[in-house]
Amino acid sequence: MMNRLFTLTLVLLTASSAFAFQDDSNVLWSDSVVQTESDGPSILIIPMQGQMHTDIHNSVLAPLADRIKETKPDYILIEMLSRDWRNEFHKLMGWGDREEFSGYDKDDIMEIAKLFHVELKDIEQVIWVQDASGASSILALSWPTIYMSNDGYLHATMGVSRQFDYINAADTYGKIREAALAHTKALALYGNRSPELLRAFADPEVSLSGTWKGKKVEWEESLLGDFVIDAGEGMPHLTATTSTEVGISVGNVQTRNDVLLAMGIREYHLVGEDITSEITAHSEKWRKDFVKAADAWLDAEQYGRWAAGGDAARYMRKQIGELQRLLKMMEKSPAVAMRMGRKYRIQANQLEKMIEQLEEMLDNLRNGGGGGGRPGGGPM
């Protein structure tokens, strides 16, 4: 059996890489792919690059749905590069910016998946995973056709298990665990993949093995398959080569032209380039907005410290103004809201309460009552 598996693996690897390279001459076959003004299929590029739930977020993508449909591309090519796992060692050592590590928001993941697999389902789609970890890997697996960069990975997530691994009561643990993992079944359905595969990427307690059945792998939550991916003691961490060997990825690529050539496309033209640019610009914009939001929070803290004695009313008004400005920015941008929550442990509903309490204190001060003190949890 192992000899047959090795032989099949070799065949798969040869087939998956043949479209990109001509080994005996060092000539790139993909050089024959040509971008034109209007000839060949129309391709819309959707970049998914950076941190999940800030750089990559449904609030950015969903408003573009109608414009995407109006563009009428023949293909949507999603280009994913979201790989904070490479910095995991730095995180453990306390190095780098911890706020840059992706969280796990299953609602955001499901909304993005629904957008592409339900609302845009009539447009043929391919995803090119340049690298992915955690939430981005789970999302990537919802596409049936995946190509991977030669040095890319699909790395599982611990983000889901954090929702239930603190539960001690056995009966409660099981229910919460199943509820937390339920969305992976829907993602597996979108990607025409085994639910066992997606579950293993989200649950560290699940073991995963596979057995070849014809041209497809049959996955199971056990160690009884012909080959083992996860023994249930860690999480899957698949290279591009392994992903291709076991049929998760269609093949390994180096460039966009490699992907297109693998799709049988030698001439193409891009459409919706304004959409592509708008998505790319979002990352820079929300990060600039976050700097302003952080400044507003820090200014509010300073005004709160100064709000005493004869200047109390004056600085309380300034403090309220900064908090209101911050609240508007957080309500406008989920990315800013998420980063404020992660870095400063502040949520929009908390801001609303702070503002309300400060306004009451200011009214009391104007009416001759005591205005001392600060709202609970507010800036100091």
Cα–Cα distance measured from residue 73 to residue 106, given in angstroms and rounded to the nearest whole number: 28
- pLDDT class of 174 with cuts at 50, 70, 90: confident
Structural domain boundaries of the chain?
2-271, 282-366
Identify the CA nearest to 113 among candidates 132, 135, 130, 129: 135
Residues 16 and 254 sit within 8 Å (Cβ to Cβ): no
Give the pLDDT score at 290: 97
> For the chain, where are the E strands, in sequence order?
21-22, 27-28, 34-35, 42-49, 75-82, 124-133, 146-149, 153-155, 208-213, 216-220, 227-230, 237-239, 251-253, 267-270
Q: Which amino acid is at 30?
A: S
Task: State the pairing for strand pair 124-133/153-155.
Answer: parallel
d(CA 110, CA 183): 7
Q: How confident is the model at residue 16 (pLDDT cuts 50, 70, 90)?
A: very low
CB neighbours of 373 closer than 8 A, spacing ≥ 6?
361
Angle at 337 between CA 333 and CA 340, to 5 degrees: 140
Q: Evaluate if residue 86 carries a pLDDT over 70.
A: no
| Neighbouring residues of 121: CB distance < 8 A, sequence distance ≥ 6 | none
Residue among 215, 186, 207 at smallest CA distance from 111: 186
Beta strands in 179-222 (DSSP E): 208-213, 216-220
Q: Which two tokens stand for residue 314?
A: 């004056």
Report whether pLDDT(362) > 90. Answer: yes
126 three-class SS = strand
pLDDT for residue 314 is more than 60: yes
Which whole number is the average pLDDT over 32-60? Answer: 95
pLDDT of residue 310: 87
Average pLDDT over residues 9-19: 39
State percent of the chain over pLDDT 70: 81
> Range with the lowest mean pLDDT among 13-22, 244-253, 318-327?
13-22
Q: Please, what's the b/e burial string for 214-232 (b: 16 or more CB within 10 A of its CB; e: otherwise)?
A: eeebebbbeeebebebbeb
- d(CA 377, CA 380) in angstroms, rounded, equals 9
- Strand spans (E) along 95-225: 124-133, 146-149, 153-155, 208-213, 216-220
Model's pTM, two decimal places? Answer: 0.84
Under 8 Å between Cβ of 351 and 323: yes
Top pLDDT among 237 and 265 is at 265
Q: For the purposes of burial, counting CB atoms within 10 Å of the CB of 76, is it exposed (0-12), middle (13-18) or buried (19 or more)?
A: buried
CATH for 2-271 is 3.90.226.10
